[in-house]
Structure 1
């Protein structure tokens, strides 16, 4: 394993992040505050509790997942797309690095950035509501797995995208709606039975449900099923990346 090469990629990506650290810090704080003003105050005034948990606290896991998923995808996709855009991807491919080492460097940096954002949002949320995490180890595990799996997805999108419009297409039109419809700000038990069944086909439901369970002990789907879903999704992303580097699809043209 070429650890020096992995560190070079990781360090370069993290330095790009630290150059805009203030922006990266302020943005999630402002957006989280706005969500609490809109959802926590306006809707929370009409919904006191959800399954025994105050509505303001109930939406915190969804807020964290929403930001972590979008940040992991955007950071990983831009990180690998930019070398394609300026033509330095060929230098990377000719370096003594295999696809695993390249992936670890870029995905590791994107996952670290999104983990930082998730931590900032949790800290910001504590100023608005009282949070008690019942299963802190499980919370950290779900957070890390989400950062990793969606950074892998973002890496795939960066390899696939042919322009900046395509780079934003999937996150805006697919991922963000799935997160909003995946129980970020409500429990799927509040939906009619037909829609509850339909919602179970949304893979994000399993992530948010497992993450919320680590806070409050409440879950829309079994926790074991949530872990299986995120594990299968991670394995699928790794398999797709292996195929892309093996076939050269979108890399050599």
Structure 2
């Protein structure tokens, strides 16, 4: 394993992140505050509790998952797309670095960035609601796994994209709606039986449910299914990346 190459890629990507640290730090704080004003105050005044948890606290896991999913995808996709755009990807491919080391460097940096954003949002939420995390180790594990899996997904999108517009296509038109419809701001038990069944086909439901269980001990689906879902998603992304580098799809052409 060429740790020098991994470290070089990781440091380069993190340096780009820290150059815009103010924007990266302030943006999630403002967004989280607005969500609490709109959802916590406006809707929370009508829905005081959900399954024994105050509505303001109930939406915190959904807010964190929404941010780390979209941030993980955006950071990883831009990180690998930009070398393609300016042509430096060929220098990387011709260097004595295998695809595993390339993926670890880019995905590791993207996952670190999204994890940082998740921690910032969690800290910001503490100013608005009282949070008591029942399973802190499970909460950290879910955050790390989600950041990593969606960074892998973003890496695939960055290779697939042919222009900057396509980089935003999947996060905006697919991932964000799935998160909003996946129980981020409500429990699926509040839905009519038919829509509960339909919602279970949304893979994001399993991630948010498991993450919320780590906070409050409440889950819309069994925690085991949540772990299987995130493990399966990660495995699919790894296989896809292996095939991409093996075939050279959208990299060498």
Q: What is the TM-score of this pair, normalised by structure 1? A: 1.00
1:181, CA displacement in angstroms?
0.4
Q: Which residue is 1:217 aligned to?
A: 217
- List structure 1 segments (4+ residues) > 2 angstroms apart after TM superposition: none
Q: Which residue is 1:235 aligned to?
A: 235
Q: Which residue is 2:144 aligned to?
A: 144
Matched, 1:135 2:135: yes
How is 1:12-51 mapped onto 2 (pairs within 5 angstroms)?
12-51=12-51
Q: Aligned partners of 2:168 and 2:128: how far apart in 1?
A: 31
Query: Residue by residue, what CA displacement relative to the aligned partner does 1:181-200 show, whole Å, maximum 9, x if unpaired?
Result: 00000000000101000100
Query: Residue by residue, what CA displacement relative to the aligned partner does 1:57-88 show, whole Å, maximum 9, x if unpaired?
Result: 00000000000000000000000000000000
Query: Residue by residue, what CA displacement relative to the aligned partner does 1:129-175 show, whole Å, maximum 9, x if unpaired?
Result: 00000000000000000000000000000000000111111111101
Q: Aligned partners of 1:228 and 1:36: how far apart in 2?
A: 31
Query: Residue by residue, what CA displacement relative to the aligned partner does 1:3-59 show, whole Å, maximum 9, x if unpaired?
Result: 000000000000000001111000000000000000000000000000000000000
Q: Which residue is 1:179 aligned to?
A: 179
Q: Equivalent residue of 1:41, what SS?
A: helix
Query: Residue by residue, what CA displacement relative to the aligned partner does 1:77-100 show, whole Å, maximum 9, x if unpaired?
Result: 000000000000000111111111
Q: Aligned partners of 1:197 and 1:98: how far apart in 2?
A: 44
Q: Aligned partners of 1:19 and 1:95: how far apart in 2?
A: 27
How is 1:56-205 mapped onto 2 (pairs within 5 angstroms)?
56-205=56-205
Q: Aligned partners of 1:214 and 1:191: how far apart in 2?
A: 22
**Aligned residues: CA RMSD:** 0.4
Q: Aligned partners of 2:161 and 2:58: how far apart in 1?
A: 36
Q: Equivalent residue of 1:218, what SS?
A: coil
1:252, CA displacement in angstroms?
1.1
Q: Aligned partners of 1:183 and 1:49: how far apart in 2?
A: 15
How many residues are treated as equivalent by the alignment? 253
Q: Aligned partners of 1:121 and 1:167: how far apart in 2?
A: 24
Q: Aligned partners of 2:97 and 2:186: how far apart in 1?
A: 45
Q: Aligned partners of 1:96 and 1:46: how far apart in 2?
A: 60
